[in-house]
Amino acid sequence: MCGRFAITLPPDAMAQLFKAVPGNDLPAVPNYNVCPTNRVHAVLGVEGQRRLSAMRWGFLPHWYKTTNGGPLLINARAETIAEKPAFKAACRERRCLIPVSGFYEWTKDAEDNRLPWYIQPAEDGPMVFAGVWQDWERDGEAYRTCAIVTCAANEQMAAIHHRMPVILAPEDWGKWLGEEGKGAANLMVPAPEDALRVHRVGVAVNSNRASGPELIEPID
| DSSP code of residue 73 | B
Average pLDDT of the residues of the chain:
96
pTM, two decimal places: 0.97
Residue 107 lies in a domain: no
Tally of domains in the chain: 1
How far is it, in rounded angstroms, from Cα 141 to Cα 137? 5
In this structure, is residue 159 part of a structural domain?
Answer: yes
What is the span of the domain harbouring residue 19? 5-101+126-193
Flag whether pLDDT at 1 surpasses 80. no
Dump pLDDT digits (tens) for 18-70: 999 999 999 999 999 999 999 999 999 998 899 999 999 999 999 999 999 99
pLDDT tens digits along 83-124: 999 999 999 999 999 999 999 999 999 999 999 999 999 998
pLDDT-based confidence at 164, cuts 50/70/90? Answer: very high
For residue 64, is it within any domain? yes
Residue 207 included in any domain: no
Q: Give a yes or no: residue 118 inside a domain.
A: no
Whether residue 141 is contained in a domain is answered as: yes
Antiparallel, parallel or unpaired: β 21-22 and 39-46? unpaired
Residue 204 lies in a domain: no
State the CATH number of the domain containing residue 56: 3.90.1680.10
Look at residue 48 and tell me if it is in a domain. Answer: yes
Output the 3-class SS for 87-150: CHHHHHHCEEEEEECEEEEEEECCCCCEEEEEEEECCCCCEEEEEEEEEEEECCEEEEEEEEEE
Render pLDDT for 138-162 as a digit per residue (tens, 0 to 9). Answer: 999 999 999 999 999 999 999 999 9
Sheet containing strand 196-200, edge to edge, reads 31-34, 5-7, 102-108, 114-121, 196-200
- Determine the length of the chain: 220
